[in-house]
Amino acid sequence: MSEPISQKPYFVRAIFEWCTDNGFTPYIAVAVNSETVVPRGHVRNGEIVLNISALATHRLHISNESIAFTARFSGQAQDIWVPMEQVSAIYAKETGAGMAFEVAKPLGLTPEEEAAQQSFRPSSLELGSQVEGDGSGAAVSTSPDDDEPPRPTAPAGGRPALRRVK
């Protein structure tokens, strides 16, 4: 008898559809390894969090083997390819509801990837924050303990970013 297909891609597609049906923004957390095709400058501690909503992606395809799409990072369109076994979570940005998974393969960053992580250090981020591409070309700082939406930080070009004033 052959090995059954993993349940993980079915759960990922189900949570993605649930988020979309409820007007939530689906995010995936990815444990980055040498096979993962993501912007290395946005990788933190071997992980990247990606917005996979219809507004943030182009040609999104969630197969049993991978998640593939095109998205903009710092104004540049980039092809993203994530092996399904490297997806560590999918959740709704607004509520945090979703599902986490064990990552089967250990992280194996090359020395070049580790150097790229070290070279990208926005000064305006708080301790424990994550950096994500929001499709606008600006980095977004999110802190898991805050109830406020993410705040834009200054993009690399030195242009000011908008901030919400209460």
For the stretch 116-133, pLDDT in tens is 545 443 333 333 333 344
The overall pTM is greater than 0.75: no
Pick the CATH number of 8-120+128-152 from 2.30.30.220, 2.40.30.30, 3.40.640.10, 3.40.50.720: 2.30.30.220
Contact 57, 81 (CB under 8 A): no
Domain ranges of the chain: 8-120+128-152
For the stretch 14-68, pLDDT in tens is 999 999 999 999 999 999 999 999 999 999 999 999 999 999 999 999 999 999 9
Identify the CA nearest to 82 among candidates 117, 49, 53, 113.
49
Three-state DSSP at 31 gives strand
Give the model's pLDDT for residue 44.
92
CA distance 117 to 110: 11
